[in-house]
Amino acid sequence: MTEYYDVIVVGGGNAGLSAAHAAREQVDKVLVLEKAGSDWAGGNSYFTAGAFRTTFSSLEELLPLLDERDEAFLQRTALPPYTPEQFLQDMQRTTKGRCDPELTAILVQEAAETIRWLHQKGLRFRLMYDRQSFQVDGEFRFWGGLALGTVNGGKGLIEQHLQAAAASGIEVRFNSPVVDLECDMTGAVCGVICSPPGRERQRIRAGAVVLAAGGFEANPQLRTCYLGPGWDLARVRGTPYNTGEVLFAALALGAQSYGHWSGCHSVAWDVAAPPHGDRFLTNLLTKQSYPLGIVVNSQGKRFLDEGADFRNYTYARYGAEIMKQPDGIAFQLFDAKTEPLLRKDEYTAPGVSRFEALTIRELAQKAGIDADGLEETVTTFNAAVMRDVKFNPAIKDGKGTVGITPRKSNWAQPLDTPPYYAFAVTCGITFTFGGLRIDPNGRVLDRLNLPMPGLYAAGELVGGLFYHNYPGGAGLMAGSVFGRRAGRAAGQWSRERRALDRAS
């Protein structure tokens, strides 16, 4: 007997599980098919810090959402509001005005409401003091429009999602890769072909199918084809299972491709990191405090503006800049003044590629940087730092450099206080930007811009939101906003379709 579900969701990350919760509000039988085994549950979402970019008018508005709170900290917390207008501006600015206007408007308008919905489902939130605030004059000052994260990061996010799914009777089936989609005689999508390892292929029928199987960042061949030469060599920050076959199955069926196919999110990633994500260290292999120091290549030369903006608005495009350097590696440098401000968890994680020395020359020799080149860079940089501006890491302080290229626009301080520290990094790819085109209800559009009946999508597999760059925390938020919309619409469509079938 062929199995039947009201809604099948393909992919068990944050977008897929958000879709499953929303579908379950509409229909009884919801199945999540996940390619990985349970030991790799959660896709890329597991590897995240659980940071959600949501909007709020005040700290008070977030208080009812906080499941982990410390009153003493709260008394000393300075959290500037982050409005839908600011979120919209950040999306437009980071994507150079290319983000899809309709989808982006929904993302920024529904972020806060979607967070409340996730909280009702059982997701637990906290303020990310450790990652998104600095202590200035006795206060914890948040910066960069990002404050809210899940308790226990991405690991907590997936645990809480799966608990919520189990509690509402959603079935999650691991080791169940979807290899194709099925259509009925009217052309409507009516199921999937699943190919569990070592077993016969299964046809599973469904009233509607939501695709949430991630991008193609873990597929070296597709990375080279779409991102360009050299990208096959990038380290993958998250799951090895996002290899693009579901995305390409939908394209083969007539879905419209959309978004920045030669673009991706990529960051500074520890040079000793394994080829794919590490389930224990997850996002600790990233190195995100570079705005406080300088970044050089193996010749000792700077190649980017470390202080162009808060880390949240530059980190996702700096992996690609590192990729362009000799051997695709770079070094983040700090001194005794800035080292205490580094994100502790990332810079002291086990096995981190860290070097320490009392002189710049010795540091260069230990780290494998050209010593003459580095000494010259540091001397020139130190001389270029504006002395009369006060350093403040919690605002864009305008303490930049004068007369050097590239300039450092904010947070420039001379590297002059030993010991000195170097951290070796390479390019870690997070996710790809190209994907399927959806309408506001998550319906997949065909090449004529018409909805493909029965087919919905959400998450990294959707294109059109991110181009060139990305505001930190927008991936999980977009996955939940559009996962919820897609799941709800899929559930409704499935119900109506069944009613019609019964009537005819």
Ligand X SMILES: Cc1cc2nc3c(=O)[nH]c(=O)nc-3n(C[C@H](O)[C@H](O)[C@H](O)COP(=O)(O)OP(=O)(O)OC[C@H]3O[C@@H](n4cnc5c(N)ncnc54)[C@H](O)[C@@H]3O)c2cc1C
What's the closest the beta carbon of residue 445 comes to ligand X, in angstroms? 18
175 versus 299: smaller Cβ distance to ligand X: 175
What's the closest the beta carbon of residue 340 comes to ligand X, in angstroms? 24
51 versus 360: smaller Cβ distance to ligand X: 51
CA distance 488 to 495: 11
23 versus 212: smaller Cβ distance to ligand X: 212
What's the closest the beta carbon of residue 472 comes to ligand X, in angstroms? 7
CB 487 within 8 A of CB 23: yes
DSSP state string for 411-477: S---S-SSSEEEEEEEEEEEEE--EE-B-TT-EEEBTTS-EEEEEEE-GGGB-SS-SS---TTHHHH
CB 410 within 8 A of CB 400: yes
What's the closest the beta carbon of residue 315 comes to ligand X, in angstroms? 10
What's the closest the beta carbon of residue 156 comes to ligand X, in angstroms? 12
What's the closest the beta carbon of residue 395 comes to ligand X, in angstroms? 22
> Which residues are CB-contacts of 456 (< 8 A; sequence separation ≥ 6)?
19, 208, 209, 210, 211, 438, 441, 442, 443, 444, 486, 487, 489, 490
Q: Amino acid identity of 118? A: L
177 versus 393: smaller Cβ distance to ligand X: 177
CA distance 470 to 467: 7
192 versus 364: smaller Cβ distance to ligand X: 192
171 versus 356: smaller Cβ distance to ligand X: 171
CA distance 357 to 421: 7
CA distance 293 to 382: 11
Q: What is the CA radius of gyration of the chain?
A: 23
- Return the H-helix or E-strand segment holding 59: helix 59-62
401 versus 430: smaller Cβ distance to ligand X: 430
- Give the number of other Cβ atoms within 10 Å of residue 352's Cβ: 18
What's the closest the beta carbon of residue 34 comes to ligand X, in angstroms? 5
The residue ranges that bind ligand X (CB under 6 A) are 10-16, 33-36, 43-45, 47-51, 177-178, 212-214, 237-239, 241-242, 245-246, 282-283, 430-431, 459-460, 473-476, 479
